[in-house]
Amino acid sequence: MPSRQDSAALPLAGVRVLDWTRLLPGPWCSQMLSDLGADVIKVEQRGVGDPSRHNPPRYTEESVYFLSVNGGKKGLTIDLNAPGAKALVQTLIARSDVMMESFSASVAARHGIDAASALKINAKLIHCSISGYGQTGPLSPIPGHDLVVQAATGLLAPADHTPQMPGFQTADYAAGLMASVAILAALRRRDRDGIGAALDIAMYDSMFQLGQIGLASALARAAGASGEPRMEVWGGNPRYALYPTQDGKTVAVSLLEGRYWKKFCDVIGRPDLASGPEDPSARLSSHGALNAQFRDAIAGYCSANNRDVIARAMAERDIPVVPVLTPDEAVASPHAQVRGLVRQVPHPNEGTMTELRNPLHRSGLVRDVRQPAPGMGADNVEVLTSFGLTENDVRMLAASGTI
């Protein structure tokens, strides 16, 4: 296994990524590629930058969110409307391995960074376009923010529940993950067959792919089946739900398997509730006539005990009933610390920042140390000279307002 400190031994060492994306899916994906060893260049519009630089909260000066999804990259600025931009863009494309963008189709084409234009310049390029709804289809012109994409997938109101604001940007991260997989697969094919790729990655498509449970009944109905009884994972199963505790907090109960249900019933002094064998089909059901009895027993135990008392009792017996943690509790939790998922790292402007560490850090596949996110255009000279431009070329581009 390569040393995690040896960047040259990482899987994507020597791969150059030109990243024009903004906000979340693209930047999170390209940070993953950087963690895997790629040389990622974050390209921002001169004088404007990535809008997420302004997202609250901040440490002292800089956005916590922006720093968390743009680490390990170099910063380059280009004014795409400047006279020298077109030639510069073509030079960058010609000497890159991967190019990512999240513009609308018309904007990308106008500036020559769409897939068709880019692949004419570099036939072996992996071009990845990340958008809300994809490059085709009636929804494709609509800006793809996470909430509206989730709404369109049918997964925002599962099992006829009243729609609720999501607590997580599922569509954003789904697209980031799908883009990562697609780019890695396309690079593998390019290395084998010598051909580039045009990847059309949509938040909509990517979240739809996560619908095996949420869309299960709809898939059955689409094939002519009834879709009933449906898989019950939305609170209708009393053994798979959230319950308030005596101290006004909450625990998550996940007693799907009969053996854990029996252990739980022994703890609460109700072995009668788990006296007989269960049919496997009961696992994700509502438990029918037993629903109210099960729910009352669980609710009664939880309402009579504090959250952390319940958590300790369950953990001692390896029963899957755990506290619903606040974000602050989760960041400070012993398990997150033992797994090495959160750590304090130095930052040139902030002094210290808190980093969510790549979960592959134990495998030797990613950088052990991720450089801080770049300032806007902080690496213009270094980046452009690495593409073969002279320092005089760079000075002229700066003087013309192109960079």
**Does the residue 193 lie in any domain?**
yes
- Is there a single domain that holds both residue 59 and residue 173? yes
Residue that is last in its domain, among 267, 300, 323: 323
382 and 352 together in one domain: yes
**Residues pairing with 18 in the sheet:** 41, 99
The pLDDT tens digits for 323-354 are 999 999 999 999 999 999 999 999 999 999 99
Do both 21 and 126 map to the same domain?
yes
* Residue 7 banded pLDDT, cuts 50, 70, 90: confident
Task: Determine contact, residues 40/72, Cβ cutoff 8 Å.
Answer: yes
Contact 357, 35 (CB under 8 A): no
- What is the average pLDDT across 71-83? 96
Tell me whether residue 163 is in a domain: yes
| Local confidence band at 6 (pLDDT 50, 70, 90 cut-offs) | low
Does some domain include residue 331? no
For the chain, the average pLDDT equals 95
Residues 175 and 312 in one domain: no
Whether residue 166 sits in one domain with residue 98: yes
266 and 161 in a common domain? no
Which domain does 12 fall in, by range?
Answer: 7-211+338-399
Spatial contact of 63 and 26, defined as CB atoms under 8 Å apart: no
Whether 122 is covered by a domain: the verdict is yes
Do 108 and 59 sit in the same domain of this protein? Answer: yes
Report the pLDDT averaged over residues 350-361.
96
Q: Are residues 81 and 176 in the same domain?
A: yes
Return the pLDDT at 252: 98
Task: Note whether 402 and 78 are within 8 A (CB).
Answer: yes
Residues 102 and 190 in one domain: yes
Q: Is pLDDT above 50 for 2?
A: no
Same domain (yes/no): 270, 373: no
Where does a domain end: 295, 323, 351? 323
Residue 63 in contact with residue 20, Cβ under 8 Å? no
Residues 99, 158 within the same domain: yes
Last residue of a domain, one of 290, 323, 356: 323
Q: Is residue 328 part of a domain?
A: no
Q: How many structural domains comprise the chain?
A: 2
pLDDT(168) > 90 = yes
Cut 0.85: pTM above it: yes
367 falls within a domain: yes
User: Strands, E, within 226-302: which ranges?
Assistant: 240-244, 250-254
SS3 per-residue string spanning 297-346: HHHHHHHCCCHHHHHHHHHHCCCCEEECCCHHHHHHCHHHHHCCCEEEEE
Domain membership flag for residue 100: yes
Q: What does the alpha-carbon distance between residue 181 and residue 187 come to, in Å, rounded to a whole number?
A: 10
Q: What is the mean pLDDT of residues 243-249?
A: 98
Q: What tens digit of pLDDT does each residue of 130-159 get?
A: 999 999 999 999 999 999 999 999 999 887
Whole-number pLDDT of residue 160: 78
**Is residue 231 assigned to a domain?**
no
- Per-residue pLDDT at 350: 95
* 185-226 residue pLDDT tens: 999 999 999 999 999 999 999 999 999 999 999 999 999 999
Residues 344 and 301 in one domain: no
Q: In this model, does residue 1 exceed pLDDT 70?
A: no
